[in-house]
Amino acid sequence: MALSDAANDVDNALTRKGFKGMSYENAFGGALSFMRRTYTKDLTGVQLAVTGVPFDQAVTNRPGTRLGPRAIREASTLQPCDPPFGWDINPFEENAIADYGDLAFDYADTRSFPPALKAHIKGILDAGAGSLTLGGDHYITFPILRAYAEKFGPIALVQFDAHSDTWPDDDMDRIDHGTMFYKAVKEGLIDVQKSVQVGIRTQNDYDAGVHVIDAPKVHQQSTADTIGQIKAIVGDHPTYITFDIDCLDPAFAPGTGTPVWGGLSSAQAAAILRGLRGVNMVGGDVVEVSPPFDTTGATAVAGAHAACELMCLYCWNLREGA
């Protein structure tokens, strides 16, 4: 399509026939969906369902991540007119990817939230699709892992984060975005020997048994070394990738609730994510984008790019003959 034809290309999220195809509509207009993918509640034939979870009642510092899914979708409109950079696949053309909309939940009844989210993700998995979730605070990964563990058994977790989120908390009904991976280990949702945290740079004396490649280590060694270590840990085990935007240094992602200096650069994160192609990724999420503290929109842009890389990683395994 010629660039001039973009004037007649609009609202692809609602007007596209099927789930495949590039989008050339103006980035500043049109119906919002992730990467201009078809917006649908019918997952028949869908390979990857993108869904938003606008929940931030579990934060320990600054709120606002309930607005993250909307901001990531808006930032993603900059990308779908070109194939994803650095890949020899084009998921926009080759794969059936849909925007499944947001989770419906009662914001005033937090007790009902975890089972509602688990059921939402289970519905996606039962339809034969994988899930790519836009958060929301990081607690959301816990109910998601419950759904994945029911299907795949204990999962390999690759966690990009400034914080381990494994602070001990034996109240399994308590909702907190700093303790849910302690609980995930305790519930047997993840295989600690096949799981790894990348970018950690806050102190937690509790050892959950998960491998850690902290931020100083990432900076000291080559990107290829980090990629190789992650791949060696997870092997070919079914893997869930969770990307907390505060894995990035605040210079690259200031719009988050608990920023910590000394983090990864956008370039490091992009190279590591692209280097993970071939990992048996069965789902993933991008969390902790907080638009009220994102004065330039850079954090939402980073979140949209991270989600795009996760989309490509998932679709890499869908190639014919893969």
Task: Indicate the SS3 state at residue 68.
Answer: helix
On the question of pLDDT at 3 being above 80, the answer is no
Q: Are 155 and 190 in contact (CB under 8 A)?
A: yes
For residue range 192-234, what is the model confidence (pLDDT) as tens digits?
A: 999 999 999 999 999 899 999 999 999 999 999 999 999 999 9
On the question of pLDDT at 2 being above 60, the answer is no
**Residues whose CB falls within 8 Å of the CB of residue 44, separated by 6 or more in sequence, listed in order:** 127
On the question of pLDDT at 90 being above 90, the answer is yes
As a whole number of angstroms, the distance between CA 281 and CA 87 comes to: 16
As a whole number of angstroms, the distance between CA 220 and CA 295 comes to: 31
For residue range 159-196, what is the model confidence (pLDDT) as tens digits?
A: 999 999 999 999 999 999 999 999 999 999 999 999 99
On the question of pLDDT at 153 being above 60, the answer is yes
C-alpha separations of 173 from 179, 180, 189 in Å = 11, 10, 16
DSSP H or E stretch at residue 267: helix 266-275
DSSP 115-156: HHHHHHHHHHHHTT-EEEEEESSGGGHHHHHHHHHHHHSSBE
* Per-residue pLDDT band at 9 (split at 50, 70, 90): confident
As a whole number of angstroms, the distance between CA 174 and CA 186 comes to: 14
* Per-residue pLDDT band at 6 (split at 50, 70, 90): low
Residue type, 316: W
Beta strands in 170-276 (DSSP E): 196-198, 211-213, 239-244
* Per-residue pLDDT band at 5 (split at 50, 70, 90): low
On the question of pLDDT at 322 being above 70, the answer is no
Mean pLDDT calculated for residue range 113-124? 98
For residue range 238-252, what is the model confidence (pLDDT) as tens digits?
A: 999 999 999 999 999
What pLDDT score was predicted for residue 246? 98
On the question of pLDDT at 8 being above 90, the answer is no
What pLDDT score was predicted for residue 41? 96
Burial class from Cβ neighbours inside 10 Å (0-12, 13-18, 19+) for residue 104 reads exposed
Complete domains list, the chain, with CATH: 3-316 (3.40.800.10)
The phi, psi pair for 87, rounded to 5°, reads -125, 150
pTM exceeds 0.85, yes or no: yes
As a whole number of angstroms, the distance between CA 155 and CA 142 comes to: 12
